[in-house]
Amino acid sequence: MGKIFTFLTRTRGIGRLHWTDWASYAYLLFGIVIMFGPVLWLVLSSFKSEAELQRFPPTFLPYAQEMISIEGYDKPLPLFEITNGEFAGKQAGQVRRIGLVSQLVRPEAPKDLIKMPLADRKPVERIDFAFENYGDLFKRFDFLRYLWNSVFITTMATLIMLLVNSMAAFALSKYHFRGRSTVLAMIVGTLMVPQTVVLVPLFLITRELGMLNSLWGVIIPGAATPTGVFLLRQYMLTIPDEILDAARMDKASEWKIFWRIVLPLSAPAIAVLAILAIMWRWNDFLWPLIVLSQNDKFTLQLALNSFQGQLTTQWSNLLAMTVLVLVPIAIVFAFLQKYIATGIASTGGK
């Protein structure tokens, strides 16, 4: 026992674990529970049937009661185990329940009806994942439409943003022209007016351009971001001008230099910006909420929010939908977390 303890508390550095190390690991363990726990709970709950979700206190895993077919009864009966009395330890199907009395029938004696108090039997259960929660989303809800809206907005907005911002970054990093610093200062200026403070005029402009209740109304207004221009410009400044001059000697047009030389060389910065843009767009809420008011134009986020407000919505479908909205981001994070972390740290969020 002592040896195991010594082994477990061995450190890579010098000496034993200090009490501060114990405190650190305790804190981190607590962190895992509080950060991962809720998400795990959501995913497990999403596989429970609506009846299972009503159960209090809830169980960890999703269960469903076993059913048994007994001769003489058309439908399978819910299976119970008898815990008390003459037939203790035997299993039986419940025919009906009247008040506090349960009428059961054993498979080996289908004609013999046993009556006993509810407390004397307990349900036989097995683990059962209610995949129909997910199936329902496609059958009863217009899930694919919302998914398409979200995917379309995310893809188009990201592509347009990358093209427009990288062109601007190219101009601001590779040319010396009169007014460059003015343009730069103007772009810094827009950092100070986030979308949240110009909602009313932005609504008017989007309306005048005929983009209300259109997916383009969500895509276009956010396409030029000061963050994107800055991130790419800083990176492009590190590309030596000699490469560009060499290409000019070979009579390459400026556009060709931009997309054949500078863009490929900026790939790491573009990747970071692309990931950020995808996340911003996928999770966007307030602006789509204002622009898109027709149900068939909703993004996944809007659909999720409007479902949770409806009384007819069942938790089982809502939870399944939440998981499906979460999954793409989880996948992106699992594969690209290094880029995301550096990207977010270098841009300071939005």
Partner 1 sequence: MTAVLNAIMNIIEIPMRFAQRRLGLRRIAWVFLLPNLILFGIFAFLPVILNVIYALTGTDQVMLNDRTFVGFDNFITLATCTNHLDPNTCTQDLFWRAIYNSLWFVTLQVGFMVGLSLVTAIVLNGKIRARGFFRSVFFFPVLLSPVVVALIWKWILQREGLLNAGMDAFGLTPYNWLLDRNWAFIWSIFLSVWAHMGFYTLILLAGLQAIPRDVYDAALMDAATPFRTFRRITLPLLMPTMIVVLLLALIKGVQTFDEVYAFTGGGPGSATTFIIQYIYETGFAGTPRLFGLAAAASILLAIVLIGLTLIQLSVTRNKADG
Q: Which residues inside 43-102 make contact with partner 1, applying CB under 8 A?
A: 45, 53-58
Site for partner 1 (CB under 8 A): which residue of 9, 16, 22, 41? 41
Task: Give min distance, CB of 254 to partner 1, in A.
Answer: 5
Q: E-assigned strands of the chain? A: 63-65, 67-68, 77-82, 91-98, 101-106, 109-117, 121-123, 125-127
Contact map string, positions 306 to 335, toward partner 1, x by CB under 8 A: --xx-----x--xx--x--xx--xx-xx--
Alpha-helix residue ranges (DSSP H) falling in 1-131: 2-8, 19-45, 50-53
3-state secondary structure 209-243: CCCCCCHHHHHHHHCCCHHHHHHHHHHHCCCCHHH
Residue 158 is a binding residue for partner 1 (CB under 8 A): no
Query: CB–CB of 150/301 below 8 Å?
Result: yes
Residues 6+ apart with CB under 8 A from 52: 59, 62, 63, 64, 130
Binding mask 177-196 for partner 1 (x = CB under 8 A): x--x--x--xxx-xxxxx-x
Stretch that binds partner 1, among 110-118, 121-129, 163-171, 234-242 (CB under 8 A): 163-171
Q: In the complex, what is the shortest distance from the CB of residue 2 to partner 1, in angstroms, rounded to a whole number?
A: 22
Is 41 or 73 the residue whose CB approaches partner 1 more closely?
Answer: 41
Considering only residues 87, 143, 170, 235, which one is a binding residue for partner 1 as defined by CB under 8 A?
170
Distances (CA, A) of 350 to 187, 202, 205, 281, 289: 14, 19, 23, 11, 19
| Shortest CB 299 distance to partner 1, Å | 10
Of the pair 145, 174, the CB lying nearest partner 1 is at: 174
Contact string 280-309 vs partner 1 (x = CB under 8 A): --xx-xx--xx----------x--xx--xx
Q: How far apart are CA 194 and CA 190, in angstroms?
A: 7
Q: What are the DSSP calls for 75-98, one per residue?
A: SPEEEEEE-SSTTTT-EEEEEEEE
Between 93 and 221, name the residue whose CB sits nearer to partner 1. Answer: 221
Q: How far apart are CA 301 and CA 140, in angstroms?
A: 18
By rule CB under 8 A, what string of x and - marks binding of each residue 238-257 to partner 1? ---------------xxxx-
- Centroid of chain to Cα 22: 33
271 binds partner 1 (CB under 8 A): no
Tell me how far, at minimum, the Cβ of 19 lies from partner 1, in Å: 11
* Nearer to partner 1 among residue 68 and residue 187 (C-beta): 187
